[in-house]
Structure 1
Amino acid sequence: MDKQTDFVLRTIEERGIKFIRLWFTDVIGTLKSVAIAPAEVEGAFAEGVGIDGSAIEGLTRSFEADVLVHPDPTTFQILPWRGTEDPTARMFCDIATPDGAPGVADPRNVLKRTLARAGDRGFTFYTHPEVEFYLLKSSKFGKNGPEPVDQAGYFDNVPGGTAHDFRRRSVRMLEDLGISVEFSHHEAGPGQNEIDLRYADALTMADNIMTFRTVVKEVAIEQGVYATFMPKPLQGQPGSGMHTHLSLFEGDANAFYEAGAEYQLSKIGRQFIAGLLRHAPEITAVTNQFVNSYKRLWGGDEAPSFVTWGHNNRSALVRVPLYKPNKGQSSRVEYRAIDSAANPYLAFSLLLAAGLKGIEEGYELPAEAEDNVWSLNDAERRALGYNQLPASLDHALSLMEDSELVAETLGEHVFNYVLKNKRQEWKEYRAQVTPFELRSNLEML
């Protein structure tokens, strides 16, 4: 028995833990949970826990239903919102087939595979997300749409406001779970908030994001409000993105940093950005996986719509943040398209795969965008060679379908399931008669 496993077993006994939740995600990124009793934990470490995978979105085909979930002892944490009555802990799990092979449809395994590819080249991949979400008075809504908890704006300080207590409680709970928070503040939209997580390796961060969403939902329930990570819940207001800072390290050295280079950005860093730009359109169906995601991408309010990069240019898809003198370790790039509803395991896998492709193939970085890309007209953008991101989920899926990079990274099963699931979503969306059509056509036609 290794030290971490022994630590978990001792902690369960010493802290009187009554339930242990085994967490994993489906292909879409929905958190799943099965609870076991303390007496079952040692067996779960040794043999896994059997579940019917065919009942989980995209996990298996019906004729290969049985899978095993294996808890990762390094992810053990006591859930603070459960309190002292029936204390409960959780661990994230890896999914395997009965013969011990890694589950081909396990999003966590997809990311592990991609990280292993980077590791073979000597790289460790770190991410740092800025997670936006809305606080609403209720999940119910009337003819005017959802009602936000306040009418505050960017960085507003609202005395006695719901958001202050909400963010404070959420941050404390995240830190109790071992998740470090860098910043928290009110965002630009009414009821919109942002909490930024301190950087970590990509697998840890993907686990942290799944925990983050759960914490935010739990605090909302506790405080009598409703939290949503929907990309664009309010018409005419900013959408909720998850701008994500990315960096590669070789040992203790930041591979994106080169003293004296333009923006202190190394050749590896430039090639990584070039890979992100070239493959951005074909990975968008995963980084922005819902019909509603494209209302954010094409709705303005600092959401990127065009494939560009720039130094501290917030209209660009990829931004190179301001360099901090004497802090080469902080060199990074920021990918601004991904939204808060993405499956972080699959999204991080594709961002890394695109960047690695740029390094492996020696992609040349195009000229940076120095102007506000949104203020240009279509002819000006075409003249500058600024291609656009997909304008709809349907468009994104057609680009993903032809992508070797996405197919290789996700694996055949996940690749096909995402296409099938999202095509069904588009079909149902396209078939509806919307309020817009009724308002525009019913009386005049």
Structure 2
Amino acid sequence: MDSLLSDLINLDLSGSTDKLIAEYIWIGGSGMDIRSKARTLHGPVSDPSKLPKWNYDGSSTGQATGDDSEVILYPQAIFRDPFRRGNNILVMCDAYTPTGEPLPTNKRHKAAKIFSHPDVVAEEPWYGIEQEYTLLQKDVKWPLGWPVGGYPGPQGPYYCGVGADKALGRDIVNAHYKACLYAGISVSGVNGEVMPGQWEFQVGPVVGIGAGDQLWVARYILERIAEIAGVVVSFDPKPIQGDWNGAGAHTNYSTKSMREEGGIEVIKKAIEKLEKRHKEHIAAYGDGNERRLTGKHETADINTFSWGVANRGASVRVGRDTEKEGKGYFEDRRPASNMDPYVVSSMIAETTILSHQ
């Protein structure tokens, strides 16, 4: 029975119909709940603006009231579908009222405005986002591979570790890596993290609004693969209290000016601007981040802005290569694993390019 079901799931439609399946993906009312539903298209589409808008019941996602529940999805980015394959696609969407107003939870709309500003366009902002996450056992919500109600040995052997007692969930990680590359996402690498059962993938370098689109779809693909494996993905910034590392979404960033000769001075000015808006950025960098940014476990204290070369205990880290070459990128280490990449990426661009403090 299982093999027949598997055969049907993997059925190649291309020989029998021109129709294809588009999975529309959007973000629900909590700002972290990824939703999706599928529809049939009558032929291939490569331009998101040529895809039909669609609607959903916003009262069931915490985004509308029952008496006026319709929310409209605007297709924004297309990816190949690693689950259905063939000509089938994944479509990243954002959400609007029937009158065309962006929902309060639609963070993409504001980000797109910032990224389309001529000064930002001219600077070609590049992002590389390091998405950390924790795999949990489904029924007990305890990290994968941990004894139920108990703890593994202390941190040390797990970071980039190898072995059944150190690398917990590698099949999910590798399946996700390949599925993202198939989809057309710029995943640049994966690794095991410091806490056992915690992993990281990196998306980038990607220009502008594309970083948010790609990270959200990479999260969606991860959730789907974990669903198949019967495992839960947690983006909580500190899933286990105590002497365990939290989970972040370190955001690497550069502009055209930073990548050119003398870029280190542009980087220093950008970091000064980030320091002036530290509180605003922290407020927008993810829920529960105060449990992670304690000044321990490779973090800076949440209330204090700091930066340094090769310093993983600073708010912002400048790499040794950047210092040596006098140009390059820097890493904002403050964002939590559950941050919204549309918010974080556009806010960094706004502060460093459009702010004239």
TM range (shorter): 0.7 to 0.9
How much has 1:94 moved relative to structure 2?
4.0
Classify 1:148/1:52 alpha carbon distance in 2 versus 1 (closer, same or farther; 3 Å): closer
The correspondence for 2:22, drawn from 20, 23, 27, is 20
Equivalent residue runs for 1:30-109 within 5 Å: 30-39=33-42, 45=50, 48-53=53-58, 56-57=61-62, 66-72=70-76, 75-82=77-84, 88-98=88-98, 106-109=106-109
Report the Cα offset of residue 13 of structure 1. 6.8
1:298 lines up with 2:294 in the alignment? yes
Matches within 5 A, 1:23-422: 23-26=25-28, 28-39=31-42, 45=50, 48-53=53-58, 56-57=61-62, 66-72=70-76, 75-82=77-84, 88-98=88-98, 106-117=106-117, 119=119, 122-141=122-141, 146-149=142-145, 151=152, 152-158=157-163, 161-236=167-242, 237-248=244-255, 254-257=256-259, 259=261, 261=262, 265-266=264-265, 268-288=266-286, 290=287, 292-298=288-294, 300-305=296-301, 306-323=304-321, 331-358=328-355, 360-361=356-357
CA separation in 1, counterparts of 2:343 and 2:95?
15
For residues 216-254 of structure 1, the C-alpha deviation after alignment (integer angstroms, 9 at most, x for no partner) is 222223334332111111122111001110111xxxxx2
User: Partners in 2 of 1:55 and 1:40 — Cα distance?
Assistant: 31
Which structure has greater strand proportion?
2
CA RMSD in angstroms, aligned pairs only: 3.4
Partners of 2:119 and 2:354 within 8 A in 1? no
Deviation track 1:388-438 (CA, whole Å, cap 9, x = no partner) reads: xxxxxxxxxxxxxxxxxxxxxxxxxxxxxxxxxxxxxxxxxxxxxxxxxxx
Deviation (angstroms), 1:98: 4.2
Return the offset for 1:258: 5.0
Q: 1:61 to 1:219 in 2, by over 3 A?
A: closer
- What is the one-letter code of the residue matched to 2:50? F
User: What's the CA shift for 1:287?
Assistant: 0.6
Alpha-carbon distance in 1 for matches of 2:345, 2:333 = 13
Kindly state the Cα deviation for residue 355 of structure 1 after the two structures are TM-superposed.
1.7
User: What fraction of aligned residue pairs are identical, expressed as a percent?
Assistant: 22
Q: Structure 1 residues 186, 116: closer, same or farther in 2, change over 3 A?
A: same
Q: Distance in 1 between the 2:136 and 2:268 partners?
A: 41
Q: Please say if residues 293 and 300 of structure 2, whose CA atoms lie closer than 8 Å, have aligned partners that are also in contact.
A: yes
Bigger radius of gyration: 1
8 Å CA contact retained: 1:129, 1:245 = yes
Task: Report the 3-state secondary structure (helix = DSSP H, G, I; strand = E; otherwise coil) of the residue aligned with 1:256.
Answer: helix
Q: Unpaired segments of 5 or more residues in structure 2?
A: 1-12, 147-151
Contact 2:18 2:42 in 1 (8 A): no
Contact 1:304 1:316 in 2 (8 A): yes
Asked whether the equivalents of residues 264 and 323 of structure 2 are also in contact (C-alpha less than 8 Å), the reply is no
Relative distance call for 1:100 and 1:134 in structure 2 (3 A) is closer
Alpha-carbon distance change, 244 to 120 in structure 1, aligned in 2, over 3 angstroms: closer
Alignment partners' CA distance in 2, 1:102 and 1:176: 31
Report the AA paired with residue 131 of structure 1.
Answer: Q
> For residues 354 and 20 of structure 2, what CA distance do their matches in structure 1 show?
47
Alignment check: 8 A CA contact 2:95 2:103 kept: yes
The answer to whether the 8 Å contact 2:296/2:313 transfers is no
TM-score, normalised to structure 1, is 0.65
User: By how many angstroms is 1:198 displaced?
Assistant: 2.6
State the partner residue of 2:7: none
Shift of 1:40: 10
Kept after mapping to 2: 8 A contact 1:118/1:356: no
Distance 1:153 1:129 in 2: 22
1:299 Cα deviation after fit: 6.5
Count of residue correspondences: 329
Conserved in 2, the CA contact under 8 Å of 1:257 and 1:331? yes
Gaps spanning 5+ residues in structure 1: where? Answer: 1-11, 249-253, 362-445
2:329 corresponds to which letter in structure 1? R
Q: TM-score scaled by structure 2? A: 0.79
Contact (CA 8 Å) 1:25, 1:107: kept in 2 or not? Answer: no
